Amino acid sequence: MPRVKRGTVRRANRKKLAKLTKGYFLTKSKLYRSMKEAADKAGRYAYRDRRRRKRDFRRLWIIRISAAARLHELTYSQFIFGLKKLGIALDRKMLSEMAVSDAAGFADLAGRVKQAVAEPAPAPAQS
């Protein structure tokens, strides 16, 4: 079998890995095998957490909306139900931002929702 000299290719691959793992603790940034394992694991965490971030932010928005709604004597579910009943299509991110930075606007919205929730539903027609 012919001898393979892969000096530049090997060096390039190691340099690429070293750049990825720069700043890692102890051997994870120094030794090739450790660098490889650390980079693989970091990649897996990054992939997982890119999806996780979407869940985490939605949770945060819901918590903020719920807290702001409770200031106006509404639960989160009542608030969302009232918005749907009024036909207001604001996503949770915008509602959360409104609750944090525009308290007066959120209060107005909560007042309208409260009225909509308080109205009794029309009775079903009997035949």
pLDDT in tens, 38-82: 999 999 999 999 999 999 999 999 999 999 999 999 999 999 999
Domain annotation covers residue 31: yes
Q: Which two tokens stand for residue 60?
A: 């945060």
Question: For residues 76 and 62, is the Cβ–Cβ distance under 8 A?
Answer: yes
State which residues form the domain around 81: 53-118
Question: For residues 28 and 35, is the Cβ–Cβ distance under 8 A?
Answer: yes
Q: How many domains does the chain have?
A: 2
pLDDT in tens, 10-41: 899 999 999 999 999 999 999 999 999 999 99
Other CB atoms within 10 A of residue 8 CB = 8
Query: Residue 119's pLDDT is what?
Result: 82
Query: Do residues 15 and 48 both lie within one domain?
Result: yes
Domain annotation covers residue 125: no
- d(CA 110, CA 69) in angstroms, rounded, equals 7
pTM confidence score: 0.78
